[in-house]
Chains A and B, each alone.
Chain A
Amino acid sequence: EVQLLESGGGLVQPGGSLRLSCAASGFTFSNYAMTWVRQPPGKGLEWVSTTSGDGGSTFYADSVKGRFTISRDNSKTTLYLRMNSLRPEDTAVYYCAKVVYSSGPKFDSWGQGTLVTVSS
Chain B
Amino acid sequence: DIQMTQSPSSLSVSVGDRVTITCRASQSISTYLNWYQQKPGKAPKLLIYATSSLQSGVPSRFSGSGSGTDFTLTISSLQPEDFATYYCQQSYNTPQTFGQGTKVEIK
Q: Let me know if B87 and A106 touch, CB within 8 A.
A: no
Contact A110 B98 (CB under 8 A): no
Q: Is A11 an interface residue (CB 8 A)?
A: no
Contact with B along A74-113 (1 / 0, CB 8 A): 0000000000000000000001000000111111101111
Which B residues touch A108, using CB under 8 A?
46, 49, 55
Interface size on B, residues (CB 8 A): 26
A103 touches B95 (CB 8 A): no
Interchain residue pairs with CB less than 8 A apart (22): A44-B87, A44-B99, A44-B101, A45-B44, A45-B87, A45-B89, A47-B95, A103-B32, A103-B50, A104-B32, A104-B92, A105-B91, A106-B46, A106-B49, A106-B55, A106-B91, A107-B34, A107-B36, A107-B44, A107-B89, A112-B43, A113-B43
The 5 closest A-B pairs by CB, nearest first: A104-B91, A103-B50, A110-B43, A104-B32, A106-B49
Contacts from A to B (Cβ < 8 Å): 37, 44-47, 50, 59, 61-62, 95, 102-108, 110-113
- Contact A103 B53, CB 8 Å, known A44-B87, A47-B97, A111-B43: yes
Q: Roughly how many angstroms separate A47 CA and B32 CA in the complex, as a whole number?
A: 16
Q: Assuming the A-B contacts A95-B44, A104-B49, are A44 and B92 also in contact, with contact meaning beta carbons closer than 8 angstroms in the complex? A: no
Q: Looking across the interface, which residue of chain B has its beta carbon closest to that of A111?
A: B43
A102 engages B50 (CB within 8 Å): yes
Q: Say yes or no: is B94 at the interface (Cβ < 8 Å to chain A).
A: yes
Contact status A103-B87, CB under 8 Å? no
**Contact, CB under 8 Å: B49 / A103:** yes
Say if the beta carbon of B45 comes within 8 Å of chain A: yes
Closest to A35 in B: B96
Cβ contact of A44, chosen from B45, B96, B100, cutoff 8 A: B100
